[in-house]
Amino acid sequence: MPKATSPRILGQILKSARTQKRLTQDQAGNLVGITQAMVSRFERGESNIRIDTLFRLMSALELELLVNPREEQTGQGEGDNW
């Protein structure tokens, strides 16, 4: 599983998990009380996502969030833009 170092990469991770579960964006949104359009924006990394919404969506997709120190401490990692 790739590391989520930007909203775009996080969106790709969410999309991959959703498609592996064979859920449409509409179905995934219905599981957590958001619209299909919001799911689409999250998956493209174009929209801010509230932390509680992120956790609900991750739970529905059977994902977990792990927080680890960066392996490289000399600056921003590739893809960091937040």
Measure CA 67 to chain center. Answer: 14
pLDDT tier, 4 (very low <50, low <70, confident <90, very high otherwise)? confident
Q: In this predicted model, what pLDDT tens digit does every residue of 18-68 receive, in sequence order?
A: 999 999 999 999 999 999 999 999 999 987 888 999 999 999 999 998 888
Domain 7-60: homologous superfamily in CATH:
lambda repressor-like DNA-binding domains (1.10.260.40)
What is the structure's pLDDT at 26?
97
What is the structure's pLDDT at 80?
57
What is the structure's pLDDT at 77?
54
- What would the two tokens of residue 75 be? 């600056």
- Listed by start position, the domains of the chain span 7-60
Q: In this predicted model, what pLDDT tens digit does every residue of 7-28 receive, in sequence order?
A: 999 999 999 999 999 999 999 9
